[in-house]
Amino acid sequence: MTAKKENAKRLVIYLLIVFAFMLLFILCAKPMHDSNTANNVICMIYSFSPALASLITRVVTKEGFRDMKLHLHVAGNIRYYLLAFILPLICLSAMFLLPVIISGHADWLGGFTFSNVLSNALLLFALSAVQSIGLLGEELGWRGYMNQNMEPLAGTPGTCLIGGIVWGLWHLPMDIGGYLNGNGTLSEALGMTLGRLVMLTCFGAFLMWLTKKTDSVFPAVIAHFMYNESQGAVAELLNQGNIPEDASLPLWTDAVRYAPMLLTAVIFTVLLLHDQNKARKTA
Partner 1 sequence: MTGLVYKEWKQNRWLILSMILCGFAPLLVLLLMRGEIPDASDAALRIVGMIAGFLAAGALQMLVLRGDDRKLWGYWITATADGCKGFLRVKYEMIFAMTVLLLFTLQCADRGYCAAAADMGMTEVGEISGIAVLLCFLQILLRAIDIPFVYRFGSRRGSLVKMICMIVLVIILLALLILNADRLDTVIDTCNKVFSVQNSSLILSVGLVGCLALYYLSYRITCRLYLKGVEQYDR
Minimum CB distance to partner 1 smaller for 124 or for 202: 124
Q: Under the criterion CB under 8 A, does residue 115 sit at the interface with partner 1?
A: yes
- Among 6, 13, 33, 125, the residue binding partner 1 under the rule CB under 8 A is 125
Q: Under the criterion CB under 8 A, does residue 277 sit at the interface with partner 1?
A: no
How many Cα atoms occupy the beta-carbon half-sphere of 126 within 13 Å?
6
Q: How far is the CB of 53 from partner 1 (least distance, A)?
A: 20
Task: Yes or no: say if 118 and 253 are a contact pair by the CB < 8 Å rule.
Answer: no
Q: Under the criterion CB under 8 A, does residue 181 sit at the interface with partner 1?
A: no
Q: Under the criterion CB under 8 A, does residue 12 sit at the interface with partner 1?
A: no
- Give the DSSP per-residue string, 228-245: HHHHHHHHHHHHHS---T
Which has the closest alpha carbon to 171: 203, 144, 147? 203
Q: How far is the CB of 221 from partner 1 (least distance, A)?
A: 11
Nearest-angstrom CA–CA distance, 15 and 56: 11
- Among 23, 59, 126, 255, the residue binding partner 1 under the rule CB under 8 A is 126
Q: How far is the CB of 96 from partner 1 (least distance, A)?
A: 20
How many residues in the shown chain lie near partner 1 by CB under 8 A? 26
Q: Under the criterion CB under 8 A, does residue 187 sit at the interface with partner 1?
A: no
Q: Under the criterion CB under 8 A, does residue 123 sit at the interface with partner 1?
A: yes
Minimum CB distance to partner 1 smaller for 93 or for 201: 93
Minimum CB distance to partner 1 smaller for 36 or for 282: 36
- Give the DSSP per-residue string, 47-70: HTHHHHHHHHHHHHTT--STT---
Q: Under the criterion CB under 8 A, does residue 75 sit at the interface with partner 1?
A: yes
Which has the closest alpha carbon to 179: 189, 192, 164, 194? 189
Nearest-angstrom CA–CA distance, 70 and 34: 37
Cα distances (angstroms) measured from residue 136 to each of 132, 139, 190, 198, 225: 8, 5, 27, 22, 10
Instruction: Centre a 10 Å sphere on the Cβ of residue 141 and count the other Cβ atoms it contains.
Output: 26
* Binding to partner 1 in span 204-263, by CB under 8 A: none
Q: How far is the CB of 198 from partner 1 (least distance, A)?
A: 30
**Site of interaction with partner 1 (CB under 8 A):** 35-37, 39-41, 44, 71-72, 75, 115-116, 118-123, 125-127, 129-131, 133-134
